[in-house]
Amino acid sequence: VKPVLKLHNTLGRKIQEFKPLKKNSVSLYTCGPTVYNYAHIGNLRTYIFEDILERVLMRNGYRVDRVMNITDVGHLTGDTDAGEDKVEKEARSENRSVKEITEFYTEKFLEDLRELNVKIPRSLPKATSFIEEQIELVEELMKKGYAYETAEAVYFDVKKFKSYGKLSGQKLEEKTVAARAEVVADKEKRSPADFALWFKTVGRFKDHIQRWPSPWGEGFPGWHLECSAIARALLGQPLDIHTGGVDHIGTHHENEIAQSEAAYKLPLANYWLHGEFLLIDAAKMAKSEKNFITLADLKARGYAPLSFRYLVLNSHYRSKLNFSWEALSAAEHGLYKIEEAYFALGRGPIKLKGPLSRGAEIEEIAFTKAINEDLNTPKALAVLHKVLRAPKIPAMEKRALIEKMNQILQIIGDEPPGPSSIPRRVQELAAQRLRLRNNKQFKQADVLRDEIDGLGYTIIDEEGGYRLVPKRK
């Protein structure tokens, strides 16, 4: 019997058996990046969680139709309608065109995903390619009385949408009070909790670079609009699963639901999944904060991107993950140990002579159970460790099992961990030390050995060379 797939649905806050609309395929919408800067590792954690979700759905026999939008249009600072356009601000400060900025950061984003073994979604629609659909959605909301126009913008009237707040559980009164504290630029706005569907290029936005004609005059869409319009256009409504980070729940996803459901009288999505925050010193990482770490920062310190992936998978996606350099080092070391043990089982093609032995079969089921239990990757990794150590499972079966687990986990590379997984600084010191030893300058060589030791590696001298081994933490 195959373990059933269970997922935690934010809508209703419970774990449910997953039942797609169609028998063999799943429509999956994942909110994508705003491309005015590099992704930080907190964002990347969410994309790794979504990658696991996609691979687990595939393992359960579904074809996954996945869409991830690329926000390449006016996105105002914060969730509110106040503030400035981040994309245009970045373009101005870098003295480049908006298109140059968004294309550059889109490419950097995709590079990050590739390095983290995250499957690139087949469909990566740009918000600017779906302006017409967004305008149609606003027209539909106007027609049905859910939206109103002011001199500056078109707003969604949240009081008209009775189930507003159903995803977050936040009451409209609370939201209104919270929103009141923010700067409200438009005096004609009926309630502070109303959100913009369309901004006109007048007043504070008169110099806005990106603009399109619309029934309400030239302007640009509010940022919640694109996901509703793109999801419907490319996947239909309702769709099976909609995902994002937990920071999307209260406003962005609530607003997406309001727009889509008010306009078309159908649910936007049946399942809502959200990835928790990555914290640094217990603080949330955000583009606006100083604690902004990118994948490039990790690489500059000599860490392999997959060490970060492994670190992420050691926590369940619905738990907060406290990032520290020590934790990353420990993860890198842990992954090194896994790879070392895996490649020690043998190389070359994996060929099984018959069905799996009973012991191996039990572990295979345990793994499937773990990933099908709301994507429990820490549990799945525990099974992987168990298989590596199991005394009774033959090596070839271990390789077959781990290879199959790795199709989902994607942490083990094609090659055994070589010098490339060791920080460059350590490699340089080791090479220097060998030269010193060859010159019989043993005292100086020992100083370097201590320095390498301080960086977390033990150097073992071998015939004509050396081996670097990460120290056990």
Q: Which residues bind Zn ion (CB under 5 A)?
A: 31, 227
Alpha-carbon gap, residue 361 to 401, rounded angstroms: 9
Q: Could you give the residue ranges of the DSSP H alpha helices within 295-394?
A: 295-300, 305-313, 325-344, 358-372, 377-389
* CA neighbor of 192 nearest in space, from 224, 158, 148, 161: 158
Contact 104, 72 (CB under 8 A): no
Using DSSP's 3-state secondary structure scheme, residue 392 falls into coil
Residue 105 or residue 223: which is nearer to Zn ion going by CB?
A: 223
Q: How far is the CB of 259 from Zn ion (least distance, A)?
A: 11
- Between 37 and 377, CB nearer to Zn ion: 37
State the residue for tokens 């070392």. Answer: 340
CA distance 101 to 85: 13
C-alpha angle 64-69-73 in degrees, rounded to nearest 5: 175
- Nearest distance from C-beta of residue 181 to Zn ion, angstroms: 24
Give whichever of 130 and 148 is closer to Zn ion, judged by the CB atom: 130
- Residue 325's CB is within 10 A of a number of other CB atoms, namely 12
Alpha-carbon separation of residue 142 from 157, 201, 258, 431 (angstroms): 10, 19, 13, 70
- Nearest residue (CB) to Zn ion, 40 versus 224: 224
Residue closer to Zn ion by CB (options 40, 253) is 253
Q: DSSP per residue over 260-305, as a string? A: HHHHHSS-SEEEEEEEPPEEETTEE--TTSS----HHHHHHTT--H
Q: Which of 26/31 has CB closer to Zn ion? A: 31
Residue 74 CB, nearest distance to Zn ion (Å)?
Answer: 15
**Residue 227 beta carbon to Zn ion: minimum distance, rounded to whole angstroms:** 3
Cβ 242 to Zn ion, closest distance in Å? 8
Q: Smallest distance from the beta carbon of 423 to Zn ion, in angstroms?
A: 37
226: part of which helix (H) or strand (E)? helix 225-235
437/450 Cα distance (integer angstroms): 14
Report the residue number, 227 or 229, with the smaller CB distance to Zn ion: 227
Nearest-approach distance from CB 30 to Zn ion, in angstroms: 8
